[in-house]
Structure 1
Amino acid sequence: MSLEIYDLSHDFQQHMPEWPSSPGVNVTIDKFHAKDGLYQVNWEGIMHRCTHMDAPIHVTENTPGISEYPLWRLAGTGVAVSIPKGKWGVITPEDLEKATPAIREGDIVMINTGFHHKWADSDEYFAYGCGISGAGAQWLVDKKVKCVGYGCQANDHPIATKLVDHGLGPSQPHLIDEYKAETGRDPKVDFPDWEPAHKTLMVKGNIPGIENVGGDLDKVTGKRCFFMAFPWRWTGGDGCIVRVLAVVDPDQSFRFEQGV
């Protein structure tokens, strides 16, 4: 079989980097071999950790949960595109329009910003990271893509989150003055809405958004692949950790059996 399978997920573990909110993830050992003759762990924490997928209900009331994404959105052909960004960089419609290979209607899209190399418990990755604009999310909705993954901290830009003066924020008010000092602009003017990309992509478009894509992302960037990312079948779930796979068939010899 000629298939090459790449894992685009970060490692899930007790002390993995976590988006700056609470609670954290706790993993404890309930049973272990020396004492009990078997190994069992207890996991406690929210689903918005590591490589994960959000559901519309996470950001808007009376909208679908994680299990209500149709399965056809979670597997299929698409592209991994390079859109490198630096501190507070914005993924724009122009970036998406120029991306190669070209993003087509019905694609699953993985966006390599380069920030997956900075994956760490740090301001550099989270507070000073990049994200897509509301207009960029609308471009993806208009393009009728199936699913989107981001090699950065979230669907939205960090300045469009509660880290600054949005929603429950500011949880990191120092970012407001830092943004003004660095850009000469008011963050609420540049990012007037609270998480518009989440709401545009998932609520308006019913398009799953995968945050913190990483792993072997560089190995498939610039390629057209078959992607898979399946969350739990969790009724009413607000999000779910996912393992994202990219499959490439270099010599085009693989075929599915007929199933009869």
Structure 2
Amino acid sequence: MTLEIYNLSHPFHQHMPEWPSTPGVNVTVDKFHAKDGVYQVRWDGIMHRCTHMDAPLHVTENTPCINGYPSWRLVGTGVAVSIPKEKWGVITPEDLEKASPQIQEGDIVMINTGFHHKWADCDDYFAYGCGISGAGAQWLVDKKVKCVGYGCQANDHPIATKLVDHGLGPSQPHLIEEYKAVTGRDPKEDFPDWEPAHKTLMVKGGIPGIENIGGDLDKVTGKRCFFMAFPWRWPGGDGCIMRVLAVIDPDQTFRFETGL
């Protein structure tokens, strides 16, 4: 028996790329060996950074916190599928329907858009990235999947966020005219709602959505795997940094013991 374990998380550190909002993440060395004989750092920031999971509470009042996701949604078999996208690409129900291996009811689904290769402090990853449509999120809810991870900047498309004229936005108003110039359409025509994928997937469906999947994602794409993704046990938490693992048994002989 030989199990292969793959990391699907980006590294978390002081200068990691951050979604264009505030506040940022700061890591301060409080104690160090030459002075104190121990090493200790202080972390200040929000949880919506690096590879992380949102709670329904993050986007809708009076909904569950990060503790509200039952553990069975975070562990189990599923698929890593290739759905490549370019600038402002949209993950659609048709993409999900055609995905290989086929997405089945009860699966954990990791979506490889190719954008994890652009993970950097840049517009190419964040402002010009891709995302799933509200209809795509509804497809996943109807399919009754357990959990979804995205190899791109967020659950939602960037044009459905406060970067343009939604919610607290526009925080990057230049994107409105750029989108019109590229597509010939107003952003509100194509993305009339504020973060519909977040609200459809998490609030309506109770399905966790993990943002910024990366690491060894390419190595497991096109395969059926056993996934593990755990947030902190944090009452009231609006989201949480994640370590996401994929486990494959190349020999297809491993089975969990009965415990008897």
- Pairwise TM-score range, normalised by the shorter structure: over 0.9
**Structure 2 Cα separation of the partners of residues 163 and 223 of structure 1:** 34
**Structure 1 Cα separation of the partners of residues 233 and 256 of structure 2:** 25
3-state SS in 1 of match to 2:128? coil
In the other structure, the counterpart of 2:134 is 134
C-alpha deviation, 1:113, in angstroms? 0.1
C-alpha deviation, 1:253, in angstroms? 2.5
**Structure 1 Cα separation of the partners of residues 114 and 71 of structure 2:** 29
**Structure 2 Cα separation of the partners of residues 104 and 258 of structure 1:** 25
Kindly provide the amino acid, as one letter, of the partner of residue 59 in structure 1: V
C-alpha deviation, 1:259, in angstroms? 2.0
In the other structure, the counterpart of 1:66 is 66
Kindly provide the amino acid, as one letter, of the partner of residue 169 in structure 1: G
Instruction: Give 1:163-178 correspondences, 5 Å limit.
Output: 163-178=163-178
C-alpha deviation, 1:255, in angstroms? 2.7
In the other structure, the counterpart of 1:118 is 118
C-alpha deviation, 1:258, in angstroms? 2.7
**Structure 2 Cα separation of the partners of residues 201 and 245 of structure 1:** 21
In the other structure, the counterpart of 1:255 is 255
In the other structure, the counterpart of 2:106 is 106
**Structure 1 Cα separation of the partners of residues 255 and 206 of structure 2:** 30
Percent identity for Structure 1 against Structure 2? 88
In the other structure, the counterpart of 2:147 is 147
In the other structure, the counterpart of 1:75 is 75
Kindly provide the amino acid, as one letter, of the partner of residue 163 in structure 1: L
Instruction: Give 1:230-241 correspondences, 5 Å limit.
Output: 230-241=230-241
**Structure 1 Cα separation of the partners of residues 86 and 255 of structure 2:** 41
C-alpha deviation, 1:236, in angstroms? 1.0
Kindly provide the amino acid, as one letter, of the partner of residue 166 in structure 1: H
In the other structure, the counterpart of 1:7 is 7
C-alpha deviation, 1:179, in angstroms? 0.2
3-state SS in 2 of match to 1:175? helix
Normalising by structure 1, we get a TM-score of: 0.99
Q: Deviations over 1:45-94 (max 9, x none)?
A: 00000000000000000000001100000000000000000000000000
1:246 aligns with 2:238: no
3-state SS in 2 of match to 1:153? coil
**Structure 1 Cα separation of the partners of residues 114 and 176 of structure 2:** 24
* Structure 2 unaligned blocks of 5 or more: none
**Structure 1 Cα separation of the partners of residues 116 and 162 of structure 2:** 22
Aligned residues: 260
| CA-atom RMSD in angstroms | 0.6
**Structure 2 Cα separation of the partners of residues 173 and 65 of structure 1:** 31
3-state SS in 1 of match to 2:53? strand
In the other structure, the counterpart of 1:218 is 218
C-alpha deviation, 1:40, in angstroms? 0.5
* Structure 1 unaligned blocks of 5 or more: none
**Structure 1 Cα separation of the partners of residues 18 and 44 of structure 2:** 14
Normalising by structure 2, we get a TM-score of: 0.99
C-alpha deviation, 1:173, in angstroms? 0.1
C-alpha deviation, 1:257, in angstroms? 2.7
3-state SS in 2 of match to 1:76? strand
Kindly provide the amino acid, as one letter, of the partner of residue 146 in structure 2: K
Q: Deviations over 1:106-148 (max 9, x none)?
A: 0000000000000000000000000000000000000000000
Kindly provide the amino acid, as one letter, of the partner of residue 137 in structure 1: A
In the other structure, the counterpart of 1:19 is 19
1:45 aligns with 2:20: no
